Structure 1
Amino acid sequence: MSRVFSKRAKEVNAKLVILNSSDLDAVDFDAFWNPDLPAYQKENFLCAYMLLNEIGYRFDPKQLKQAVHDFFWPARFQVLRQDPYLVLDGAHNPDGIEALVSSLLESKTKIDQIYFSVLADKQAHIMIRRLQDLCSDLHLVSFESDRLADLEKLSQEYNYPIVDLDTLFQELACTNKSTLVCG
C-alpha cells in the first residue's frame, strides 16, 4: 500500500509522511486523552495531529485536551447510556469490527449482549467470529434493505435470534445488560 501512496505523492509532487507504531508511542496521550474514547481513535487523532504539525500548527496539552474533549463522531463508539452501558458503533466491515472489539477488550468494558446487522456484500462470518470474542449473546437485526445479508442463513448457522428494529428498540428500553449495537 505504501508504494501506491509513494507513487501518487511523486506524481502530484506532494510530501508523504508515513506514520508507524513508534509515532503513536512517542505521543504522551495520558496528558490529554479522554479514556471514554476508543483506542482506535488514537490513530485517527495522531494522523490529524501530525498533518497539522507538518503544515506548521503547534498545540499545547491544554488545547489537545480540549480538542479531544470536544470530539464527537456520531455512531462511532457513541455511548448512549452509562447504566446499563449502551454503545452504538457503525463498524460495518472486518477492519471496523476488529478496531471496535480490540478497543472494547483493551478498555476492559464488559459487553453482555450484541445487536448486529450486516449487508450481503460484507464478510459477515469474519465479523461475527470476532464479535464472539466479546460475548456469546448476539442478536441479528433485520431492517428493510435489498442489500441486507441473508440473516436467516446466518441465524441457522450460528444459532442467533433475528430481531427487527421495533423489537431492538423495545429490548434496549428495558434491558439491564451492557449492550453493543453495531453493523
Structure 2
Amino acid sequence: MFTTYEEALEWIHSRLRLGMKPGLQRMEWMMDKLGHPERRIKSVHIGGTNGKGSTVTFLRSILQEAGYSVGTFTSPYFEQFNERVSINGAPIKDKEIVQLANDIYPLAVELENTELGGPTEFEIITAMAFQYFGHVHPADIVMFEVGLGGRYDSTNIIYPVLSIITSIGLDHTAILGDTYEKIAFEKAGIIKPGISVITGVKQEEALTVIKEKALEKKAPLYLLGNEFSISGHRSMPKGEYFSVNTVFEEFPGLEIGMAGKHQTENASLAVMAAELLNIYYSFLIEDEHIRAGLKNAYWPGRFEIISDDPLVIIDGAHNEEGIIALTAELAARFHDKRINLVFAALSDKKLDKMIDNLDSVADKIAFTEFNFPRAARAEELYEISTNKNKHFHKDWKQLLENELKETEKDSILVVTGSLYFLSEAKPNLLKLLGK
C-alpha cells in the first residue's frame, strides 16, 4: 500500500510495461469488486480522433456556468497527472490519488493471478476515476473521454445519458484499422441502446458506419450539418465568432477564445449536447450559460498564444488531422509573418504526411526529441522533411532557447507535435520568457 503521492504515481506508471490490452473484462471484474461505482454516475461519453478534449472543456464550462458540479476524466494530462481526474476543471488532490491507488492496488494484485491478467496503466486510472466519482466525490454529471478507439476502451463500461463522437481520422491505424470505415466502427462502439449520439464526423464512409450503428441501437442521431449547423463564422484576433442553429433553438453571435475553425465545430457539439441535457434530462441550461461557457472555456496547448512579444504559440497537433488544422490556421492568420516551427512527435504516427504539411507553411523548421518510450528521433524527423531551411537538435531545451532568441518582430515561433512533448516544453518556454 502507498503512503506518498510519489509511491502511488510510480506504481501507476509501472503498469505501462503491460502496454495496451483491448477488452472490457478486467474493468468489469474490478467494478464488480468495487460495488459498481460506474453505475452511480450520470455521465457523457466522448470519443473521436481529434477534438475530444476541447469538446469536454466547452461542455464542462457551459454546465459550470449553469451552476452544476462537473467531473471530467481526460487523457493525456498536460501539466500534472492529477488533471486526468478533475472537478470543475480543478485536478484532484495528491492525497486523493494516494487513496484511490490504495483502493485499486489490491484488486490489481488479485487480478494479476487470474486468467485475465493484470490491469494496464490506463485501466487502473479509469478504475480510479470511476471509484472517485462513484464513491468518493460524486458530481452532478461526469464526462468520460475515450482513451483509444471506443469499442474496447476501458471507459466503455458506462451507460451514459449522451454519447459524442467528435471526428474520425487515420490515427492509431495499427490498432484501430487503416480505413475510415474501420476506425468509425471502433469509435461507434460507444453508441448505446436508446442513448442519443451527437457527431461532427464528416467522411461519408465513416458516417455510414455510425448511422448504421445508431439505427441498430435505436439511438437518436444528431449530425453536424443536419440537426445542428454553424453559420456566420469569422476569426477574431484571439478566438472565433459564429452562430449555431439546432433543431430546437438558434444561438447567434457566439464567441470562443480557442482559435481555429475546427474549434467552432467542437463548440457546436457542446451546444447540441447542452440542448439535449436541457430538454431531456432536466439540466436547467439557459442561453446565457451557453454563451458565457463557450467564451470562458480554456484548454491548454490548443493554438495557445503564450507570448505576444515575441509571438509564441504552442499547439498539440499530434496527428495528420491536427496538423492540417494547425497549418490552415497559421496560413490564414499569419500569412504576413515568417513562421518558425519546432516539432517533436511519437514514432507511431504518420510522420511523412504530418511533416509534409508543416513544410508547406514553415519558413524554417527545427526537429527535436524528448524522453518518452515512443518518441521519434530528431534526426529521423529531419530526414523526412523536404524543407530547404531545416535543422535538428537533440536537446529540446537548448533548441527552444536558441529559437526564442531568433524570433523577431516579423516572425512567429510555433512549437507543436506530441502533447507529451508540449507538457514538458510549455513550462520551460514560460521560464525562458520570464513568465
- The TM-score range, normalised by the shorter chain, is 0.7 to 0.9
Q: Which residue of 2 aligns with 1:147?
A: 374
Q: Which residue of 1 aligns with 2:270?
A: 48
> Which of residues 209, 215, 231 is equivalent to 1:25?
231
Matches within 5 A, 1:63-102: 63-102=289-328
Q: C-alpha separation between the residues in 1 aligned to 2:293 and 2:382?
A: 42
Deviation at 1:74, TM superposition (A): 1.2
Q: Which residue of 1 aligns with 2:352?
A: 125
TM-score calculated relative to the size of structure 2: 0.38
Q: Is 2:338–2:363's contact at 8 Å kept on the other side of the alignment?
A: no
The one-character-per-residue Cα deviations of 1:4-39 (angstroms, maximum 9, x if unpaired) are 222322343321111128812275378232466222
Q: Structure 1 pair 130/173, CA: closer, same or farther in 2 (3 Å)? A: closer
Q: C-alpha separation between the residues in 1 aligned to 2:290 and 2:333?
A: 21
Matched, 1:106 2:340: no
Matched, 1:171 2:393: no
Deviation at 1:136, TM superposition (A): 2.8
Q: C-alpha separation between the residues in 2 aligned to 1:126 and 1:151?
A: 16
Matched, 1:9 2:235: no
Q: Structure 1 pair 59/132, CA: closer, same or farther in 2 (3 Å)? A: farther
Q: Which residue of 2 aligns with 1:162?
A: 392
Determine helix, strand or coil for the equivalent of 1:47: helix
The higher radius of gyration belongs to 2
Larger relative contact order (CA 8 Å, sep ≥ 6)? 1
Q: Structure 1 pair 105/74, CA: closer, same or farther in 2 (3 Å)? A: same
Q: Is 1:111–1:134's contact at 8 Å kept on the other side of the alignment?
A: no
TM-score calculated relative to the size of structure 1: 0.84
Q: Which residue of 2 aligns with 1:180?
A: 414
Q: Structure 1 pair 51/64, CA: closer, same or farther in 2 (3 Å)? A: closer
Aligned residue type for 1:6: K
Q: Structure 1 pair 142/36, CA: closer, same or farther in 2 (3 Å)? A: same
Deviation at 1:88, TM superposition (A): 0.6
Unaligned runs of 5+ in 2: 1-205, 233-241, 245-251, 418-435
Aligned residue type for 1:180: V
Q: Is 1:119–1:149's contact at 8 Å kept on the other side of the alignment?
A: yes
Q: Structure 1 pair 17/32, CA: closer, same or farther in 2 (3 Å)? A: closer
Unaligned runs of 5+ in 1: none
Q: Which residue of 1 aligns with 2:364?
A: 137
Q: C-alpha separation between the residues in 1 aligned to 2:400 and 2:376?
A: 21
Aligned residue type for 1:80: I
Q: Is 2:352–2:384's contact at 8 Å kept on the other side of the alignment?
A: no
Deviation at 1:141, TM superposition (A): 1.4
Task: Tell which deviates more after alignment, 107-116 or 38-47.
Answer: 107-116
Deviation at 1:3, TM superposition (A): 2.4
Determine helix, strand or coil for the equivalent of 1:69: helix
Task: Tell which deviates more after alignment, 46-55 or 71-80.
Answer: 46-55
Q: Is 1:114–1:180's contact at 8 Å kept on the other side of the alignment?
A: yes
The total of aligned residue pairs comes to 182
Q: Which residue of 1 aligns with 2:261?
A: 39
The one-character-per-residue Cα deviations of 1:163-182 (angstroms, maximum 9, x if unpaired) are 22221332255333411100
Q: C-alpha separation between the residues in 2 aligned to 1:34 and 1:46?
A: 11
Q: Is 1:91–1:182's contact at 8 Å kept on the other side of the alignment?
A: yes
Deviation at 1:129, TM superposition (A): 1.4
Q: Structure 1 pair 40/65, CA: closer, same or farther in 2 (3 Å)? A: same
Q: Is 1:77–1:88's contact at 8 Å kept on the other side of the alignment?
A: yes
Q: C-alpha separation between the residues in 2 aligned to 1:132 and 1:35?
A: 27
